[in-house]
Structure 1
Amino acid sequence: MDKRKGSTHARSRGRVEGQSGHPGSSRRKGRPMTTGRGRNGRSGTRHAKKVNRARKRRNKILFVMIIILLIMILAAGAVFFKRYGSSNEEADKEQYYGIENSDDLALIINNEVVKKEESSAESSSDSSTDSVIPGKVFDGQYYVAYQVLRDKINSRFYWDANERVLLYTLPDGNVSVSENSSEYTAVNETKSEDYVILKTDGDIAYIALPFIQEYTNMEYSVEQEPNRAIITSKWGEIETAEVKKDTQVRYLGGVKSPILTEVKKSDKVTVLEDEDDWMKVATADGYVGYIKTKFLKNQKKEKTSRDFTEPVYSDMTEDHSINMAWHNVTNAAANNAVQQVLASTSGLTTIAPTWFSLADTEGNISSIADADYVNYAHTAGLEVWAVFRDFHGGTNSYDETYETLRYTSKRAKLEDQVVAAAVAAGVDGINLDFELISSKCGVHYVQLVRELSVKCHQNNLVFSVDNYVPQSYNSHYDLKEQGIVADYVVIMAYDEHTEGSYEAGSVASISYLQDGIEKTLKKVSADKVIAGIPFFTRLWFETAKSPEQLSEEAGTEAASYPNKVSSKALGMEEAAQSVVNAGATAQWDEKTQQNYAKWSADGGTYRIWLEDAQSLEAKLKVIQGNKLAGVAEWSLGREESSVWKLISQYVN
């Protein structure tokens, strides 16, 4: 019994110790025991592990997504900053100013940075300025290129690249400086400075800033790193503003534009342009760039000025209105006709015979002046202003006039000769009529006008200058300077259509006169302006061009006109008679303010715009309405006798 009990106990113990809790099963060797209750316990454990693994996977995915999101945010921020954020990049100042070498001097003139390509070819007169450096530093002194000086500071300086001399014309004569010299001649007095006044680099002249200032209403200051001169030569109203807080001046308007310089709170700047969020400004030390509008305050207008006495040129204008008639004298014998051409005139104050002309390109003149002619005119109560021309003499081309005037010694020779001839003949004035002036000759011609004006006034001669109606292509005649140094500026308000025109038209329509006067008065005061009117017109003949003619002209300006035209100049009476002879009738043309006629004959069409009392009166009303100094007529002997009384009604 005890044995059975022991066996039973052993079996029971063995089941308890070796079995897994499932009846009838036996413990498998090497399999670990589990806690929990049966199958459900093991399943819960596996589920928990699965949940843990899923959670870990989700966490990893979430982490990766967060990293990607952060990267995207950072990338977007970088793009946003790149596009909209402020740049701290500094501008290349030497490039900004156009400085290429250590001795280059940047110029900021009237709040504009001058770059070398800005200098005009006309101002250089003889050479291109593409390679001209605006400013230079020589031996510690600061210099400005002649082209820049003329264009932007003082156009009265004149450089003769052939004879290597710089001139400045004063009311009583020239200031003259030779290259590489500290000495100069002011009229007849020798003076000197403690620096070299004029340096040259090939044909390019550089003039010292302090010498320029002696003859110019300007101020300047100089800054380093880089070398630059800040020049003010225009005075009047400007707009200024105060900087609110420390900020930057940028090359262009926009936070990404490179920084030119820093400005401090309370700094004063000149406002040049308002571009809403940005202002274009100039700083006192020569930077021209942009500041955010919100960083400026106290914008206001200010008047700027400087004490300076401008030279005053002699004025020999008359105390009465001028009624001048040109007398086209073609040879010495024609002087004998003076009594005849004056016989039917009345109201004239001045007669202008065509006596002087350029004889050659060396500065010599030809003259057919006649003292007896002058004496007769004086007896008739007239002044004589002898005409000096650059055509119908020994020279007759643009190139010949240019070749003469571009040398100072040649100009001086012709000036002295013509003044001496005028004084010898006893005339009262010189009327300059140079019509063959090319754009490259412009600066030399204007210098002739200055110099001849001074010499005329020194010899008590009235000096007048003839001009075309102002157009963009003849601006080099410089009416403004003429109005300063000459006594009278004459506008030849005719030749609207000439012998070389491609179409028929008026010689002097009313609008042509009005336009000429209007443009001239923008440059010259009315009391110095004389309007020229014609005593002639043109009879035009036109025929349709053949297909062969049109083919030959293809690609030329002439091809734009369907008719072939020719013309001849007629005096007033001869023109009126041509209409009568043709059996035609002239009718008033409101547009041109002239009587107009046309007729068919000789296989084509004749057209004519008449100059008569009616057309001249329309012109005289315009002249009187603008209160001009007077009128001039081209030319004596071609008028109807009745016009003199009419002219006297408007010019007195």
Structure 2
Amino acid sequence: MLKKLLIGGILVVGAIFIGIKMMPVGEKIDPLVYFDEFKNNGINLVYKDQRIDLEEPVLLEDAKIYVSYDFARNYVSDTIYYDKTEKILTITTLEELLRMTPDSKEGVLNGETISLEAPIIERGGKLYLPESLLEERFKVDVYVTLEDQLFVAVDLKEARETAKVKSKTELRTHPQYKSTYMDNLQRGEQVVIYKEEGEFLRVQSEKGFIGFIPKGAVKERTQQAGLTVEEEILPKPSNPLNEKVKLVWDQLGSKNPGNWGTSKYDHVTQANVISPTWFEFADEKGNLIDRGTVEYVQEAKKRGLQVWPLISHNFTEPALTRTILTSTKKRQHVIDQLIEKAEFYGVDGLNIDIENVQSDFSAEWIQFMRELSVQVKSKGFTLSVDIYMPSNWSNHYARVELAQVCDYFIVMAYDQHWSGSEVAGSVAELPWVEEGLQKNLEEVPKSKLVLGIPFFTRVWEETAEGLKSVPYGMAPAQNLVNNWGVEPVLDPNSGQRYAQVQKEGSLFKVWLEDESSIKQRIGLVNEYDLAGYAAWKLGLETPTIWNILAEIE
């Protein structure tokens, strides 16, 4: 009997303990003070499942809601870009470019002046955008919920789950029954459900507070579809090739039509695009060096080639890149010149080869490409870009964003070992190339990815004083090896033929680019079904290479 009483007592005590643990208890707090993201009971903003951690993210003026530029760019879209020095706001889509200046009710859309419902404004040294602009352009609605202290931003494009509160319940700060709570939710109040965490739901209340309620506290859980917005799909190239890209770069050092009667151009008809090195930054104003001629384009088109002239940074004055790209007016000056020259010469596209972008102005780099894309495509030109192989130091080139705005993305799969390398090696080992392709394909569609291939190699000389190298074309490199009197052997690490010789206190090494290596590179284009190849540079190849290039599928 005593044993039964003891057991019964334990069960009763346990039940009481469990009941107490499950009771919704905890101190009530003020969420505008409690959460670190909110700023001292000031004006605050929530967006999706986040309390926005920004100073003054919202402004209420003349009964209109304005949101800070920092919120708009960092949370809504990085296609919203403000040049603080020149006081120009630019918003780009794949087909539109809108520019505005503070306090002006006029903007410029694709070159045409338009009226704005409300201007952008500067207050306290910060830029603010009218809520109506975000709703019109990005389908993001912003409204006030709590005595002008709490604002809620909603992405109307996104689907969301809602529910109704079954009976009065506490909205808690943590998914625990004993945690503090911030509000009492009443029966019938609607909540937005973000996710489930154990026995709780993370929700947003009608007041805009984000917290936790028990799963059993809601009813009528409903999935609501977002607004249907026509998805932005990059238009097809204005001058589609309707076949794989077979591009060769033609390096020109002066303004000349090209000597098309020389052996350099004997096999060029087996390509379909030629990219002459015509343009580069000339000065800090954004003026361009121009080596183009109408005669060059005429000769190329006689041979069935499209012409995509290349624009590069200035190799002797690399600082110009930062100066030009960080200015909205100078970026536009460059774009205006490119379009004017492209139309004058009658070319088919442009090839962008700006290689010295640093991480601190990578935002301006992608902004330049977005602005350029909208404008050159509206004129009917194809746009391609040349980018380094993926690496820790080149991640800021923004491959995903570039792939969205370009017709073709050319990965320069060479210079693995370059003039400044500390060890001798191939300019492009085959395993290195394949690994780089795989990484690129994680960010760039294969329909746009073009493999850059080298028509050159480097001959390395190792001495007691150090290491140096000289670039060689295919035939001169093979002739040099023949003169050495050695037979190249297959290097399993690079997948290429390799030769070395000891002469006069120096050790010479070379990894050959030849039919064998090019065949493997074209094999990768075919295996991964890439958009084509681009070769640097015309004139360094041997004639037999064109038979290998023709194997592209």
What is the TM-score normalised by the length of structure 1?
A: 0.73
* 1:494-547 deviation per Cα after TM superposition (whole angstroms, max 9, x unaligned): 2222222333333222333333333333333322222211112223344679xx
- 3-state SS of 1:531 partner: strand
Is structure 2 residue 551 aligned with structure 1 residue 646? Answer: no
Conserved 8 A contact 1:181-1:196: yes
Give 2:140's aligned residue.
218
| CA–CA distance in structure 2, aligned partners of residues 372 and 572 of structure 1 | 29
Of 62, 69, 82, 1:159 maps to: 82
- 3-state SS of 2:309 partner: strand
* 1:216-249 deviation per Cα after TM superposition (whole angstroms, max 9, x unaligned): 143444322432223226636x667775654333
Conserved 8 A contact 1:346-1:645: no
Conserved 8 A contact 1:571-1:638: yes
Is structure 2 residue 342 aligned with structure 1 residue 440? Answer: no
Conserved 8 A contact 2:256-2:293: no
Conserved 8 A contact 2:170-2:185: yes
Give 1:608's aligned residue.
510
User: How many aligned positions are there?
Assistant: 534
Q: Is the radius of gyration larger for structure 1 or structure 2?
A: 1
* 1:117-163 deviation per Cα after TM superposition (whole angstroms, max 9, x unaligned): xxxxxxxxxxxxxxx54333334332233233222212222211121
Is structure 2 residue 118 aligned with structure 1 residue 195? Answer: yes
Is structure 2 residue 317 aligned with structure 1 residue 402? Answer: no
* 1:98-125 deviation per Cα after TM superposition (whole angstroms, max 9, x unaligned): 34377x6433233222213xxxxxxxxx
User: Where do 5+ consecutive residues of structure 1 fail to align?
Assistant: 1-76, 117-131, 546-563
Offset, 1:644 = 1.0
Of 136, 159, 177, 2:59 maps to: 136
Residues 10-29 of structure 1: pairs in structure 2 closer than 5 A: none
Report percent identity of matched pairs.
28
Residues 191-270 of structure 1: pairs in structure 2 closer than 5 A: 191-202=114-125, 204-225=126-147, 226-232=149-155, 235=158, 245-255=167-177, 257-264=179-186, 269=191
| CA–CA distance in structure 1, aligned partners of residues 417 and 47 of structure 2 | 42
Give 2:266's aligned residue.
343
Residues 213-362 of structure 1: pairs in structure 2 closer than 5 A: 213-225=135-147, 226-232=149-155, 235=158, 245-255=167-177, 257-264=179-186, 269=191, 272=194, 274-283=196-205, 285-292=207-214, 302=223, 304-310=225-231, 314=235, 315-316=237-238, 317-332=240-255, 335-336=258-259, 339-362=262-285
- 3-state SS of 1:168 partner: strand
| CA–CA distance in structure 2, aligned partners of residues 208 and 618 of structure 1 | 55
Offset, 1:97 = 6.2
Conserved 8 A contact 2:142-2:151: no
Give 2:394's aligned residue.
474
| CA–CA distance in structure 2, aligned partners of residues 155 and 481 of structure 1 | 10
Give 1:488's aligned residue.
408
| CA–CA distance in structure 1, aligned partners of residues 231 and 184 of structure 2 | 38
Give 2:10's aligned residue.
none
Q: Kindly provide the amino acid, as one letter, of the partner of residue 52 in structure 2.
A: V
- 3-state SS of 2:550 partner: helix
Offset, 1:200 = 4.4
Give 1:454's aligned residue.
374
| CA–CA distance in structure 2, aligned partners of residues 598 and 273 of structure 1 | 63
* 1:409-439 deviation per Cα after TM superposition (whole angstroms, max 9, x unaligned): 2222221122222222222221111112122
| Larger helix share, 1 or 2 | 1
Which deviates the most, 144-153 or 587-596?
A: 587-596
Of 132, 141, 150, 2:73 maps to: 150
Which deviates the most, 270-279 or 403-412?
A: 270-279
- 3-state SS of 1:88 partner: coil
Conserved 8 A contact 2:389-2:436: yes
Residues 55-204 of structure 1: pairs in structure 2 closer than 5 A: 86-96=25-35, 98-100=37-39, 105-116=43-54, 133-170=56-93, 174-202=97-125, 204=126
User: Where do 5+ consecutive residues of structure 2 fail to align?
Assistant: 1-15
Q: Kindly provide the amino acid, as one letter, of the partner of residue 290 in structure 1.
A: F
What is the TM-score normalised by the length of structure 2?
A: 0.85
- Note closer, same or farther for the CA distance 1:94–1:543 as it changes in structure 2 (3 Å cut): farther
| CA–CA distance in structure 1, aligned partners of residues 218 and 417 of structure 2 | 57
